[in-house]
Amino acid sequence: MAYSHETVMQVEALTKVYPGDVTAVNNVSFTIQKGQMTAVLGPSGAGKSTLLRCMNRLISRTSGRVVINGRDITLCRGKALRQLRGDVGMVFQQFNLAPRLTVFENVLAGRLGHITHPVWFFASIFRKFNEREKEKAFQALRRVGIEHLAAKRADSLSGGQQQRVAIARTLAQEPSVILADEPVASLDPASSQRVLGILKKICDSRDIPVIVNLHQVDLAQQYANRILGIQGGSLVFDGPVTDFSMDIARRIYGTQFESAIFHQDHRKTAAA
Ligand SMILES: Nc1ncnc2c1ncn2[C@@H]1O[C@H](COP(=O)(O)OP(=O)(O)OP(=O)(O)O)[C@@H](O)[C@H]1O
Ligand SMILES: [Mg+2]
C-alpha cells in the first residue's frame, strides 16, 4: 500500500461484523494523505458511519488495521488509545455540543482531546486552562468565523453556527485527521455550503485531511477532491473527483440513485 511522508492514515482490510452476522464494513482498504478532502458516498445502510466509527475506535473492528501516523489504533489500549483518539477529530450530524456551556467553553473542551466528559467536569477544570490554551481556542473560533459568538450559550445558536462551533472544537484539539459523519444532513443548503467550505479550507490550508460522509452527490463533487464509494460494506470506487461520473454514482447507489442526486433540490424546494 502506498506510504509516503504525506500519509496520515491507512485503513487496511478493515472489516466490521455486527452481532447477528451483519457485515457492515467488508475488507476495506485505503490511504489518506495530507491535503485531501475525501467524501464517502453510498446508499443508506452501506456502512459509511460504521467505517468512520471504526477509524477512531468509537466501535471496535472485527479484523483489519487502522494506522494513524504510523501507529495501529486497533492495538492501542488505555492512555495510548486516548492519545491516538485525540489525533482523530470527529464532527457529527447532531453537533454533540454541551448545550448549556458557552461557545468558548465548548471549543476549549477540544483542548482536552476528547469530548466525553460531563458538564460538571468542564466547570471544574476551565479555570485551569492557561492563556495559551485559551488563545488556541479563540484562534479556532476565528478560523470558522464565529469568534463574536464566543460568550453565547451553545444552544442559543442556529444549526449552522453550532456545527461551526463543533468544527472549532475539533480544530482546538489539533488532530491529524478530521472525520465528519453527515455534518450537513441537519442543515439548510446555505449553511451546508458554508460548513463544507470551512472543512475544505481546513484541508487546503492546514493540511489536516478531512473524510466526510455525505448523502448528496453534488456537494461531494463540489467540495471533495477524492471520492470513496461504499456499497454493501465494500469499497466499490476510490478515485479523484474528476474520475467520478453519474454512471459510477448509479452503480454505487442502485435504487437510491434518484434521492442521492436530487436530495438537495428537494431541500431547496422545502426551504423556499
Ligand atoms: N449497532 C448495530 N448493530 C447491528 N447492526 C448495525 C448496527 N449499526 C449499524 N448496523 C447495520 O450495519 C449496516 C451499516 O450501517 P451504517 O449505519 O454504518 O450505514 P450508513 O451507510 O452510515 O447508513 P446511513 O446513510 O443511513 O447513515 C446496516 O445494515 C445497519 O443496519
Ligand atoms: Mg450513517
How does pLDDT run across 108-118, given as a tens digit for each residue?
988 876 444 55
In this prediction the pTM is 0.91
Q: State if residue 232 touches ligand 1 by the CB under 6 angstroms criterion.
A: no
- What is the reported pLDDT for 130? 79
Residue 16 Cα, ligand 2 centroid: separation in angstroms? 14
In ligand 1, the atom with minimum distance to the C-alpha of 18 is 4
Q: State if residue 50 touches ligand 1 by the CB under 6 angstroms criterion.
A: yes
C-alpha separations of 54 from 13, 74, 129 in Å: 12, 9, 31
Give domain status of residue 95, yes or no: no
Give domain status of residue 32, yes or no: yes
Give domain status of residue 72, yes or no: yes
Give domain status of residue 229, yes or no: yes
Give domain status of residue 251, yes or no: yes
C-alpha separations of 214 from 88, 115, 117, 177, 253 in Å: 19, 23, 28, 17, 12
- What is the reported pLDDT for 270? 42
Give domain status of residue 127, yes or no: no
Give domain status of residue 136, yes or no: no
Partner residues linked to 271 by β-bridges: none
Domain of residue 250: give its range: 1-87+213-272
In ligand 1, the atom with minimum distance to the C-alpha of 230 is 21
The H or E element containing residue 237 is: strand 234-240
Q: pLDDT for 120-178, tens place per residue?
A: 565 566 667 778 888 999 999 999 999 999 999 999 999 999 999 999 999 999 999 99
How many Å separate Cα 144 from the centre of its chain? 15
- What is the reported pLDDT for 123? 57
Give domain status of residue 157, yes or no: no
Beta-strand pair 177-181/88-92:
parallel
Q: State if residue 190 touches ligand 1 by the CB under 6 angstroms criterion.
A: no
- What is the reported pLDDT for 152? 97
Residue matched to cell numbers 456502512: 47
Residue 137 Cα, ligand 1 centroid: separation in angstroms? 34
Other C-beta atoms closer than 10 Å to the C-beta of 77 total 7
CB-CB contact of 173 with 149 (8 Å): no
Burial degree of 55 (CB within 10 A; 0-12, 13-18, 19+): buried
Low-confidence ranges of the chain (pLDDT < 50): 1-3, 114-116, 264-272
CATH number assigned to the domain comprising residue 40? 3.40.50.300
Name the domain count of the chain: 1
| Best residue for ligand 1 mutational test, from 50, 217, 230, 231 (most atoms within 8 Å of Cβ) | 50
